[in-house]
A and B are shown apart, each in its own frame.
Chain A
Amino acid sequence: EPEVTQTPSHQVTQMGQEVILRCVPISNHLYFYWYRQILGQKVEFLVSFYNNEISEKSEIFDDQFSVERPDGSNFTLKIRSTKLEDSAMYFCASSDSVRIYGYTFGSGTRLTVV
């Protein structure tokens, strides 16, 4: 069964450092997403991406965040200058155009900012 792959599974970074979280969505999917889940809280939408541009973003997705699809397979989330409150599990997801089968989520990257 196709899956969404995220790397790394866990990243520890110092406050103020830049991090890039990587994702390989399912190859024939057209829509890509990033979500995050702070420990013990619910999953929150960050951004959706379609046709090489952001289609929707939440209020969490401020100027510190950016997304990119640098080639035909990878989808990245960059946090320019990490803060302690950015510590969370970050999930990448992808979906097809009709979403019959729901969204497929990756297993997540646990980001710890120290």
Chain B
Amino acid sequence: SQQGEEDPQALSIQEGENATMNCSYKTSINNLQWYRQNSGRGLVHLILIRSNEREKHSGRLRVTLDTSKKSSSLLITASRAADTASYFCATDKGASGSRLTFGEGTQLTVNP
């Protein structure tokens, strides 16, 4: 079984619309993070949510976490063409230095 599975695998929207991406995981976690990756480039940390938090905001980003369902969602509001990228969730078990387990990612395309 896979830890950190995102859906949808691909999402195409128009500029100005909201984009929602979901992530599910299988084992207990301490933190869940969302990363963005432009094509062929590095990973950029977007937001971290701890297991005792339910919602977090950062600019146009809103992340929710439901530990009972082992799922998280990333909402990007008022999307822009520059938001086009792959988005990954990643979980860790909390011990300092513990590995991140990444999901498969959602490829978001925002059409101008």
Q: Show the binding face of A for B, using Cβ within 8 Å.
A: 30-31, 33, 35, 42-45, 48, 50, 55-56, 58, 89, 91, 93, 95, 97-108, 110
Contacts A42-B88, A42-B104 given: A104-B45 contact, CB under 8 Å?
yes
The reply to whether B96 and A98 contact each other, CB–CB distance below 8 Å, is yes
Q: Does B44 reach chain A (CB closer than 8 Å)?
A: yes
A35 proximity list for chain B (CB < 8 A): 100, 102
A58 to chain B: which residues have CB within 8 Å? 99
Q: Which B residues are closer than 8 A to A by beta carbons?
A: 4, 31, 33, 35, 40-45, 47-48, 88, 90, 92, 96-105
Contact yes or no, A97 B96, CB < 8 A: yes
Tell me which residues across on chain B come within 8 A of A42, comparing CB atoms. 4, 88, 102-105
Cα distance, A108 to B4, chains bound together (Å): 22
Q: How far is the CA of A105 from the CA of B44 in the complex (A)?
A: 7
Query: How many Å lie between the Cα of A43 and that of B97 in the bound state?
Result: 17
A10 CB to closest chain B CB, in angstroms? Answer: 10
Chain A residues near B31: list those with CB within 8 A. Answer: 99
Listed A/B pairs (9) with beta-carbon separation below 8 Å: A33-B100, A45-B99, A45-B100, A50-B97, A93-B43, A99-B31, A99-B48, A102-B45, A105-B35
Kindly report which residue of chain A lies nearest to residue B90, judged by CB atoms. A43
A91 near B43: Cβ-Cβ < 8 Å: yes
B99 touches A105 (CB 8 A): no
Task: Say how far A11's CB is from chain B's closest CB, in angstroms.
Answer: 15
